Structure 1
Protein backbone atom coordinates (compact mmCIF):
# COMPACT_ATOMS: atom_id res chain seq x y z
CA UNK A 1 0.00 0.00 0.00
CA UNK A 2 1.54 3.29 -1.07
CA UNK A 3 1.45 6.38 1.07
CA UNK A 4 0.89 8.82 -1.82
CA UNK A 5 -2.73 7.72 -2.31
CA UNK A 6 -5.46 10.17 -1.42
CA UNK A 7 -7.61 9.14 1.57
CA UNK A 8 -10.48 7.75 -0.57
CA UNK A 9 -8.09 5.67 -2.70
CA UNK A 10 -6.30 4.44 0.42
CA UNK A 11 -9.62 3.44 2.00
CA UNK A 12 -10.55 1.66 -1.26
CA UNK A 13 -7.29 -0.31 -1.05
CA UNK A 14 -7.99 -1.22 2.60
CA UNK A 15 -11.49 -2.41 1.66
CA UNK A 16 -10.11 -4.37 -1.31
CA UNK A 17 -7.70 -6.16 1.01
CA UNK A 18 -10.49 -7.02 3.48
CA UNK A 19 -12.73 -8.31 0.68
CA UNK A 20 -9.95 -10.45 -0.81
CA UNK A 21 -9.67 -12.10 2.64
CA UNK A 22 -13.44 -12.84 2.67
CA UNK A 23 -14.46 -14.56 -0.58
CA UNK A 24 -18.06 -14.97 0.64
CA UNK A 25 -18.32 -11.23 1.20
CA UNK A 26 -18.83 -9.05 4.25
CA UNK A 27 -21.68 -6.87 5.44
CA UNK A 28 -21.14 -3.13 5.67
CA UNK A 29 -21.13 -3.44 9.46
CA UNK A 30 -18.43 -6.15 9.34
CA UNK A 31 -16.33 -4.02 6.99
CA UNK A 32 -16.56 -1.04 9.35
CA UNK A 33 -15.66 -3.15 12.38
CA UNK A 34 -12.64 -4.65 10.57
CA UNK A 35 -11.48 -1.20 9.47
CA UNK A 36 -11.68 -0.07 13.10
CA UNK A 37 -9.78 -3.15 14.26
CA UNK A 38 -7.02 -2.28 11.78
CA UNK A 39 -7.06 1.33 13.02
CA UNK A 40 -8.00 2.82 9.65
CA UNK A 41 -7.60 6.58 9.86
CA UNK A 42 -10.16 7.17 7.10
CA UNK A 43 -13.35 6.54 9.07
CA UNK A 44 -14.56 8.05 12.36
CA UNK A 45 -13.68 5.93 15.39
CA UNK A 46 -16.82 6.99 17.24
CA UNK A 47 -19.95 5.14 18.33
CA UNK A 48 -22.34 4.47 15.44
CA UNK A 49 -25.31 5.28 17.66
CA UNK A 50 -25.03 8.95 16.66
CA UNK A 51 -27.01 9.32 13.41
CA UNK A 52 -24.61 11.80 11.82
CA UNK A 53 -21.54 9.67 12.68
CA UNK A 54 -23.35 6.64 11.26
CA UNK A 55 -24.22 8.53 8.07
CA UNK A 56 -20.68 9.85 7.59
CA UNK A 57 -19.09 6.46 8.22
CA UNK A 58 -21.54 4.81 5.84
CA UNK A 59 -20.93 7.48 3.20
CA UNK A 60 -17.12 7.23 3.39
CA UNK A 61 -17.23 3.43 3.09
CA UNK A 62 -19.66 3.49 0.15
CA UNK A 63 -17.70 6.26 -1.58
CA UNK A 64 -14.57 4.09 -1.36
CA UNK A 65 -16.49 0.99 -2.49
CA UNK A 66 -17.83 2.72 -5.61
CA UNK A 67 -14.33 4.03 -6.41
CA UNK A 68 -13.01 0.48 -5.99
CA UNK A 69 -15.80 -0.94 -8.18
CA UNK A 70 -14.96 1.55 -10.94
CA UNK A 71 -11.26 0.67 -10.72
CA UNK A 72 -11.86 -3.10 -10.80
CA UNK A 73 -14.19 -2.65 -13.75
CA UNK A 74 -11.65 -0.48 -15.63
CA UNK A 75 -8.96 -3.12 -14.98
CA UNK A 76 -11.39 -5.91 -15.96
CA UNK A 77 -10.12 -7.77 -12.90
CA UNK A 78 -13.31 -8.26 -10.86
CA UNK A 79 -16.87 -7.11 -10.27
CA UNK A 80 -17.77 -5.66 -6.89
CA UNK A 81 -21.33 -6.38 -5.71
CA UNK A 82 -22.32 -3.60 -3.30
CA UNK A 83 -25.15 -3.91 -0.78
CA UNK A 84 -25.27 -3.04 2.95
CA UNK A 85 -25.85 -6.73 3.72
CA UNK A 86 -23.11 -8.15 1.53
CA UNK A 87 -20.21 -6.55 -0.28
CA UNK A 88 -18.47 -9.21 -2.34
CA UNK A 89 -15.77 -9.51 -4.96
CA UNK A 90 -17.04 -11.48 -7.93
CA UNK A 91 -15.35 -12.66 -11.13
CA UNK A 92 -15.30 -10.03 -13.88
CA UNK A 93 -17.93 -10.53 -16.59
CA UNK A 94 -18.26 -8.19 -19.52
CA UNK A 95 -21.81 -7.03 -20.16
CA UNK A 96 -24.03 -8.34 -17.38
CA UNK A 97 -21.70 -7.27 -14.57
CA UNK A 98 -20.78 -4.02 -16.30
CA UNK A 99 -21.46 -0.76 -14.52
CA UNK A 100 -24.74 0.77 -15.56
CA UNK A 101 -24.40 4.16 -17.25
CA UNK A 102 -27.16 5.55 -15.04
CA UNK A 103 -26.42 4.47 -11.50
CA UNK A 104 -27.97 7.01 -9.15
CA UNK A 105 -26.46 5.43 -6.02
CA UNK A 106 -22.99 5.55 -7.53
CA UNK A 107 -23.50 9.20 -8.50
CA UNK A 108 -24.71 10.03 -4.99
CA UNK A 109 -21.79 8.39 -3.17
CA UNK A 110 -19.13 9.76 -5.53
CA UNK A 111 -20.34 13.35 -5.02
CA UNK A 112 -18.47 14.48 -1.90
CA UNK A 113 -20.80 17.47 -1.57
CA UNK A 114 -23.38 14.99 -0.25
CA UNK A 115 -21.00 14.14 2.59
CA UNK A 116 -19.91 17.71 3.26
CA UNK A 117 -23.38 19.29 3.12
CA UNK A 118 -25.52 16.67 4.89
CA UNK A 119 -26.52 17.79 8.39
CA UNK A 120 -28.05 15.84 11.25
CA UNK A 121 -31.40 17.36 10.29
CA UNK A 122 -30.93 16.03 6.73
CA UNK A 123 -30.20 12.56 8.11
CA UNK A 124 -33.42 12.75 10.15
CA UNK A 125 -35.32 13.73 6.97
CA UNK A 126 -33.79 10.82 5.06
CA UNK A 127 -34.97 8.44 7.77
CA UNK A 128 -38.43 10.05 7.88
CA UNK A 129 -38.67 9.86 4.09
CA UNK A 130 -37.86 6.17 4.23
CA UNK A 131 -40.64 5.58 6.75
CA UNK A 132 -43.11 7.62 4.72
CA UNK A 133 -42.40 5.29 1.82
CA UNK A 134 -42.78 2.31 4.15
CA UNK A 135 -46.23 3.47 5.23
CA UNK A 136 -47.40 4.43 1.74
CA UNK A 137 -47.95 2.49 -1.43
CA UNK A 138 -44.26 1.65 -1.72
CA UNK A 139 -44.06 -0.14 1.62
CA UNK A 140 -43.16 -3.50 0.10
CA UNK A 141 -40.42 -2.00 -2.09
CA UNK A 142 -39.02 0.01 0.81
CA UNK A 143 -39.00 -3.05 3.09
CA UNK A 144 -37.22 -5.13 0.42
CA UNK A 145 -34.72 -2.31 -0.04
CA UNK A 146 -34.00 -2.20 3.70
CA UNK A 147 -33.38 -5.96 3.58
CA UNK A 148 -31.13 -5.59 0.50
CA UNK A 149 -33.48 -7.78 -1.52
CA UNK A 150 -34.94 -5.15 -3.87
CA UNK A 151 -32.79 -6.28 -6.81
CA UNK A 152 -32.33 -9.91 -5.81
CA UNK A 153 -31.78 -12.30 -8.71
CA UNK A 154 -33.13 -15.24 -6.72
CA UNK A 155 -36.85 -15.86 -6.23
CA UNK A 156 -38.16 -14.21 -3.08
CA UNK A 157 -39.95 -16.32 -0.49
CA UNK A 158 -40.59 -16.13 3.23
CA UNK A 159 -37.66 -18.47 4.06
CA UNK A 160 -35.16 -16.18 2.28
CA UNK A 161 -36.71 -13.09 3.89
CA UNK A 162 -36.51 -14.67 7.35
CA UNK A 163 -32.87 -15.61 6.74
CA UNK A 164 -32.08 -11.97 5.83
CA UNK A 165 -34.06 -10.78 8.86
CA UNK A 166 -31.95 -12.95 11.19
CA UNK A 167 -28.73 -11.67 9.57
CA UNK A 168 -29.82 -8.05 9.97
CA UNK A 169 -30.91 -8.52 13.57
CA UNK A 170 -27.61 -10.16 14.48
CA UNK A 171 -25.68 -7.27 12.90
CA UNK A 172 -27.82 -4.35 14.11
CA UNK A 173 -28.86 -5.53 17.58
CA UNK A 174 -27.94 -2.93 20.24
CA UNK A 175 -26.08 -5.63 22.18
CA UNK A 176 -23.72 -5.91 19.20
CA UNK A 177 -23.20 -2.19 18.73
CA UNK A 178 -26.29 -1.52 16.60
CA UNK A 179 -29.00 1.01 17.30
CA UNK A 180 -32.48 0.51 18.71
CA UNK A 181 -34.04 2.65 15.96
CA UNK A 182 -32.39 0.56 13.24
CA UNK A 183 -33.60 -2.64 14.90
CA UNK A 184 -37.13 -1.20 15.06
CA UNK A 185 -36.91 -0.42 11.32
CA UNK A 186 -35.87 -4.00 10.62
CA UNK A 187 -38.74 -5.39 12.71
CA UNK A 188 -41.25 -3.09 10.96
CA UNK A 189 -39.96 -4.16 7.54
CA UNK A 190 -40.30 -7.82 8.56
CA UNK A 191 -43.92 -7.26 9.61
CA UNK A 192 -44.67 -5.73 6.21
CA UNK A 193 -42.93 -8.47 4.23
CA UNK A 194 -44.69 -11.21 6.18
CA UNK A 195 -48.01 -9.75 4.98
CA UNK A 196 -46.88 -10.02 1.34
CA UNK A 197 -45.06 -13.35 1.46
CA UNK A 198 -47.10 -15.43 3.93
Structure 2
Protein backbone atom coordinates (compact mmCIF):
# COMPACT_ATOMS: atom_id res chain seq x y z
CA UNK A 1 0.00 0.00 0.00
CA UNK A 2 1.17 3.52 -0.64
CA UNK A 3 0.86 4.42 3.04
CA UNK A 4 3.68 1.95 3.77
CA UNK A 5 6.07 4.33 2.04
CA UNK A 6 4.91 7.49 3.74
CA UNK A 7 7.77 9.09 5.67
CA UNK A 8 7.16 10.80 9.02
CA UNK A 9 9.35 13.57 10.50
CA UNK A 10 11.48 10.97 12.28
CA UNK A 11 12.69 9.67 8.92
CA UNK A 12 11.03 6.27 9.43
CA UNK A 13 8.37 5.00 7.05
CA UNK A 14 4.81 5.04 8.38
CA UNK A 15 4.73 1.28 9.00
CA UNK A 16 8.09 1.28 10.82
CA UNK A 17 7.12 4.33 12.84
CA UNK A 18 3.83 2.76 13.89
CA UNK A 19 5.64 -0.41 14.97
CA UNK A 20 8.08 1.64 17.01
CA UNK A 21 5.30 3.65 18.66
CA UNK A 22 3.30 0.52 19.45
CA UNK A 23 6.31 -1.10 21.14
CA UNK A 24 7.06 2.11 23.03
CA UNK A 25 3.48 2.33 24.29
CA UNK A 26 3.56 -1.28 25.52
CA UNK A 27 6.68 -0.51 27.59
CA UNK A 28 5.13 2.73 28.84
CA UNK A 29 1.92 0.98 29.94
CA UNK A 30 3.89 -1.30 32.24
CA UNK A 31 6.05 1.51 33.60
CA UNK A 32 3.18 3.96 34.13
CA UNK A 33 1.05 1.39 35.97
CA UNK A 34 4.02 0.58 38.24
CA UNK A 35 4.67 4.26 39.02
CA UNK A 36 0.99 5.01 39.72
CA UNK A 37 0.65 2.02 42.05
CA UNK A 38 3.82 3.07 43.88
CA UNK A 39 2.45 6.63 44.22
CA UNK A 40 -0.75 5.39 45.87
CA UNK A 41 -3.94 7.47 46.26
CA UNK A 42 -2.13 10.81 46.03
CA UNK A 43 -0.98 10.01 42.50
CA UNK A 44 1.55 12.02 40.49
CA UNK A 45 1.53 15.20 38.47
CA UNK A 46 2.21 14.86 34.75
CA UNK A 47 5.62 16.47 35.29
CA UNK A 48 6.55 14.01 38.05
CA UNK A 49 5.43 11.06 35.93
CA UNK A 50 7.49 12.27 32.96
CA UNK A 51 10.54 12.60 35.19
CA UNK A 52 9.99 9.07 36.56
CA UNK A 53 9.85 7.68 33.03
CA UNK A 54 13.05 9.58 32.16
CA UNK A 55 14.90 8.16 35.15
CA UNK A 56 17.52 5.43 35.05
CA UNK A 57 14.86 3.03 36.30
CA UNK A 58 13.00 3.16 32.96
CA UNK A 59 14.82 5.39 30.43
CA UNK A 60 11.69 5.43 28.27
CA UNK A 61 11.62 9.19 27.62
CA UNK A 62 14.48 11.41 26.56
CA UNK A 63 15.35 14.93 27.77
CA UNK A 64 12.64 17.56 27.30
CA UNK A 65 12.89 21.34 27.28
CA UNK A 66 9.56 22.13 28.96
CA UNK A 67 9.65 25.71 27.63
CA UNK A 68 9.50 24.47 24.02
CA UNK A 69 6.03 23.18 22.98
CA UNK A 70 7.44 21.31 19.97
CA UNK A 71 9.50 19.17 22.38
CA UNK A 72 6.90 18.85 25.10
CA UNK A 73 3.93 17.97 22.87
CA UNK A 74 5.13 14.54 21.58
CA UNK A 75 6.00 13.45 25.13
CA UNK A 76 2.70 14.74 26.52
CA UNK A 77 0.71 13.10 23.72
CA UNK A 78 2.46 9.73 24.06
CA UNK A 79 1.99 9.76 27.83
CA UNK A 80 -1.75 10.52 27.63
CA UNK A 81 -2.21 7.98 24.84
CA UNK A 82 -0.65 5.46 27.21
CA UNK A 83 -2.85 6.58 30.11
CA UNK A 84 -6.06 6.21 28.10
CA UNK A 85 -4.94 2.76 26.94
CA UNK A 86 -4.05 1.72 30.49
CA UNK A 87 -7.35 3.08 31.83
CA UNK A 88 -9.22 0.87 29.35
CA UNK A 89 -7.17 -2.16 30.42
CA UNK A 90 -7.86 -1.56 34.12
CA UNK A 91 -11.63 -1.28 33.80
CA UNK A 92 -12.13 -5.04 33.84
CA UNK A 93 -10.54 -5.06 37.33
CA UNK A 94 -12.81 -2.29 38.60
CA UNK A 95 -10.14 0.42 38.34
CA UNK A 96 -9.65 3.52 36.25
CA UNK A 97 -7.35 6.55 36.05
CA UNK A 98 -8.08 10.14 37.01
CA UNK A 99 -6.49 12.15 34.19
CA UNK A 100 -5.30 15.70 34.76
CA UNK A 101 -1.89 17.37 34.30
CA UNK A 102 -2.01 18.25 38.00
CA UNK A 103 -3.03 14.85 39.32
CA UNK A 104 -2.85 11.41 37.70
CA UNK A 105 -3.94 8.60 39.98
CA UNK A 106 -5.59 5.20 40.07
CA UNK A 107 -9.04 4.88 41.62
CA UNK A 108 -11.68 2.19 42.06
CA UNK A 109 -14.78 2.40 39.87
CA UNK A 110 -18.27 1.72 41.17
CA UNK A 111 -18.55 -1.41 39.07
CA UNK A 112 -16.07 -3.26 36.85
CA UNK A 113 -16.60 -3.34 33.12
CA UNK A 114 -16.37 -1.25 29.97
CA UNK A 115 -19.71 0.45 30.62
CA UNK A 116 -17.74 2.94 32.74
CA UNK A 117 -15.82 4.16 29.69
CA UNK A 118 -16.50 7.68 28.40
CA UNK A 119 -18.93 7.79 25.48
CA UNK A 120 -17.96 8.39 21.87
CA UNK A 121 -18.48 12.12 22.34
CA UNK A 122 -15.36 12.33 24.53
CA UNK A 123 -13.28 14.39 22.10
CA UNK A 124 -10.15 14.34 24.25
CA UNK A 125 -10.18 10.55 24.47
CA UNK A 126 -10.62 10.22 20.71
CA UNK A 127 -7.80 12.70 20.11
CA UNK A 128 -5.28 10.96 22.37
CA UNK A 129 -6.10 7.47 21.12
CA UNK A 130 -5.41 8.52 17.51
CA UNK A 131 -1.65 7.93 17.08
CA UNK A 132 -1.61 10.08 13.95
CA UNK A 133 -1.97 13.11 16.26
CA UNK A 134 1.55 12.33 17.47
CA UNK A 135 2.86 13.71 14.16
CA UNK A 136 1.55 17.27 14.36
CA UNK A 137 3.94 19.74 12.76
CA UNK A 138 5.58 22.51 14.79
CA UNK A 139 3.18 24.99 13.17
CA UNK A 140 0.15 22.90 14.14
CA UNK A 141 1.46 22.55 17.70
CA UNK A 142 2.04 26.31 17.92
CA UNK A 143 -1.44 27.06 16.57
CA UNK A 144 -3.01 24.62 19.02
CA UNK A 145 -1.18 26.25 21.96
CA UNK A 146 -2.24 29.71 20.77
CA UNK A 147 -5.89 28.60 20.65
CA UNK A 148 -5.54 27.08 24.12
CA UNK A 149 -4.10 30.21 25.72
CA UNK A 150 -6.63 32.37 23.88
CA UNK A 151 -9.35 30.37 25.58
CA UNK A 152 -10.88 28.81 22.45
CA UNK A 153 -10.10 25.31 23.70
CA UNK A 154 -11.74 24.99 27.10
CA UNK A 155 -13.06 22.07 29.05
CA UNK A 156 -14.44 22.61 32.53
CA UNK A 157 -11.96 20.96 34.93
CA UNK A 158 -13.22 18.69 37.67
CA UNK A 159 -13.17 19.79 41.30
CA UNK A 160 -10.10 17.69 42.20
CA UNK A 161 -8.00 19.21 39.40
CA UNK A 162 -9.16 22.72 40.35
CA UNK A 163 -8.31 22.19 44.01
CA UNK A 164 -4.88 20.78 43.13
CA UNK A 165 -4.17 23.77 40.87
CA UNK A 166 -5.17 26.21 43.60
CA UNK A 167 -2.96 24.38 46.10
CA UNK A 168 0.03 24.53 43.73
CA UNK A 169 -0.41 28.31 43.51
CA UNK A 170 -0.34 28.47 47.31
CA UNK A 171 -4.06 28.82 48.13
CA UNK A 172 -5.63 26.90 51.02
CA UNK A 173 -8.94 26.86 49.11
CA UNK A 174 -10.18 27.79 45.65
CA UNK A 175 -10.50 31.61 45.58
CA UNK A 176 -14.01 32.94 44.93
CA UNK A 177 -12.83 35.07 41.98
CA UNK A 178 -10.14 34.90 39.32
CA UNK A 179 -8.42 38.19 40.28
CA UNK A 180 -6.29 36.81 43.18
CA UNK A 181 -5.30 33.86 40.99
CA UNK A 182 -3.88 36.21 38.35
CA UNK A 183 -1.97 38.21 40.95
CA UNK A 184 -0.53 35.09 42.60
CA UNK A 185 0.38 33.54 39.23
CA UNK A 186 2.30 36.64 38.07
CA UNK A 187 4.23 36.76 41.35
CA UNK A 188 5.14 33.06 41.29
CA UNK A 189 6.17 33.09 37.63
CA UNK A 190 8.56 35.95 38.33
CA UNK A 191 10.29 34.04 41.14
CA UNK A 192 10.24 30.74 39.21
CA UNK A 193 11.92 32.20 36.13
CA UNK A 194 15.28 30.51 35.34
CA UNK A 195 17.04 33.90 35.42
CA UNK A 196 16.00 34.23 39.09
CA UNK A 197 17.06 30.78 40.22
CA UNK A 198 13.97 28.86 39.13
CA UNK A 199 13.54 26.47 36.21
CA UNK A 200 11.51 25.99 33.05
CA UNK A 201 9.88 22.96 34.71
CA UNK A 202 8.55 25.16 37.54
CA UNK A 203 7.19 27.69 35.06
CA UNK A 204 5.52 24.90 33.05
CA UNK A 205 3.87 23.55 36.20
CA UNK A 206 2.58 27.00 37.11
CA UNK A 207 1.25 27.49 33.58
CA UNK A 208 -0.69 24.23 33.84
CA UNK A 209 -2.22 25.24 37.17
CA UNK A 210 -3.14 28.69 35.86
CA UNK A 211 -4.78 27.20 32.72
CA UNK A 212 -6.93 24.88 34.86
CA UNK A 213 -8.07 27.71 37.12
CA UNK A 214 -8.74 29.97 34.12
CA UNK A 215 -11.01 27.28 32.68
CA UNK A 216 -12.69 26.90 36.08
CA UNK A 217 -13.70 30.57 36.25
CA UNK A 218 -14.63 30.96 32.57
Q: Tell me if both proteins adopt one fold, taking TM over 0.5 as the criterion.
A: yes
Give the number of aligned pairs: 174
Q: Of residues 141, 144, 151 in structure 2, which corresponds to 1:133?
A: 151
Secondary structure of 2:150's counterpart equals helix
Give the alignment's Cα RMSD to 1 decimal: 3.7
For residues 83-109 of structure 1, give each alpha carbon's deviation from its aligned partner in whole angstroms, at most 9, with x where no partner exists. 111110111322899111222211111
Q: Secondary structure at the match of 1:6?
A: helix
Find 1:93's aligned residue among 88, 91, 110. 110
Q: In structure 1, what is the equivalent of residue 158 of structure 2?
A: 151
State which structure, 1 or 2, has the greater radius of gyration over its C-alpha atoms.
Answer: 2
What is the CA-CA distance between 1:6 and the residue it aligns to? 2.3
Q: What's the counterpart of residue 52 of structure 2?
A: 34
Superposition TM-score, scaled by structure 2 size: 0.64
Structure 2: which 5+ residue stretches go unaligned?
Answer: 1-21, 172-184
Structure 1 unaligned segments of length 5 or more: list them.
Answer: none
Change (3 A) 1:129 1:58: same
How far the C-alpha of 1:152 sits from its partner, in A, is 2.2
Q: 1:115 aligns with which of 116, 134, 140?
A: 134
Q: Which whole-Å deviations, capped at 9, do the CAs of 1:147-174 have from their partners, x for residues lacking one?
A: xx622279x7xx876324349969x865
Structure 1 segments (4+ residues) deviating >4 Å: 167-170, 179-190
Candidates 83, 100, 105, aligned match of 1:65: 83
1:105 to 124, 137, 141: 124
TM-score (norm 1): 0.70
